[in-house]
Structure 1
Amino acid sequence: MSQHLEGKVVIAGDFNAITSQAEKEGGGQKSATTIATFTNFIDSNELVDIGMVGRPFTWTNRRQGENLVKERLDRYLVGMEWKLKFPNAVVHRLTESGSDHAPILMETKPQSWHSKRWFKYQERWCGEEDVKRIVSEV
């Protein structure tokens, strides 16, 4: 059974499926039928995968060497109306912390400026009263 999705839709999460063999590294290949089923769902509902910034895989089986498998199972799929409303949206792959999945975060209005200077933390700042005051106010 299929339900057609329309408009300003966003679907995000672990789909437990990939759209091509390029979204998998290690282990055996996924079946062409499994991939086709997922891509047909995306296409038939006129959804767009808005991609991801960072390392390409969001899941790992956490094994070592030849037994290591990585896949891009997590993603954001959006409808065309939504994509037109947020054309600059970007998805960031964040660092895993305890899970076999890396969290992903969508930013609908990403900052376009980039500082040419690196921020450097100085431990001595912790002892400065003005720094403590400014941090607590912010």
Structure 2
Amino acid sequence: MAHERFREAMEESGLTNFKFDGHQFTWEKSRGKPGWIQAKLDRILVLDAWRDLFQGATTSSIITSRSDHMPLFIQTESQVFSQCRRRFKFENLWLKEGQCRDVVIQSWNSTRGLKLLERFEICGKSVW
């Protein structure tokens, strides 16, 4: 019954299992003794939007002797920052913020003589 309610809650919230590599039982009791118990208690749940944002993400379990739970490790290749750098767009509204305005003016003045696109790139990095 509890499993059914958990699955219903997952479905309603749009969460799905994110599979991980390595040992699949994430909890154990009495290792090396008669009656040793292993269970998959821990999971990684994500939204489709998260999967789209971190398409290169990988996950794995980590074997440890310090706990009866096995940690799950998520490695992401952050595409958010690389996309932002390529798609930088300056907003005139930013100039109304004093500190931002100062960064833009300083960057623009310090890049005189460079090609326009180079100036924009440097200014964008400065603002970022």
Q: Shorter-chain-normalised TM-score: which range?
A: 0.5 to 0.7
Q: Does 1:102 align with 2:70?
A: yes
Unaligned runs of 5+ in 1: 1-32, 111-138
TM (normalized to structure 1)? 0.51
Q: Is the 8 A contact 1:61 1:68 kept in 2?
A: yes
Q: Distance in 2 between matches of 1:90 and 1:41?
A: 25
Q: Distance in 2 between matches of 1:73 and 1:87?
A: 25
Higher helix proportion (structure 1 or 2): 2
Q: Distance in 2 between matches of 1:72 and 1:60?
A: 9
Higher strand proportion (structure 1 or 2): 1
Q: How many residues are aligned here?
A: 77
Unaligned runs of 5+ in 2: 79-128
Q: Is the 8 A contact 1:62 1:100 kept in 2?
A: no
Aligned to 2:53: 85
Q: Does 1:37 align with 2:37?
A: no
Q: After the TM superposition, list the runs of 4 or more consecutive aligned residues in structure 1 that deviate by more than 6 angstroms.
A: none
What is the letter of the counterpart of residue 51 of structure 2?
K
Aligned to 1:59: 27
Residue number among 4, 12, 17 corresponding to 1:49 in the alignment: 17
Larger Rg: 2
Q: Distance in 2 between matches of 1:87 and 1:102?
A: 24
What is the letter of the counterpart of residue 24 of structure 2?
P
RMSD (Å), alpha carbons: 1.7
- Which one has more relative contact order, counting CA pairs under 8 Å at least 6 apart? 1
TM (normalized to structure 2)? 0.55
Aligned to 1:124: none
Q: Distance in 1 between matches of 2:9 and 2:30?
A: 29
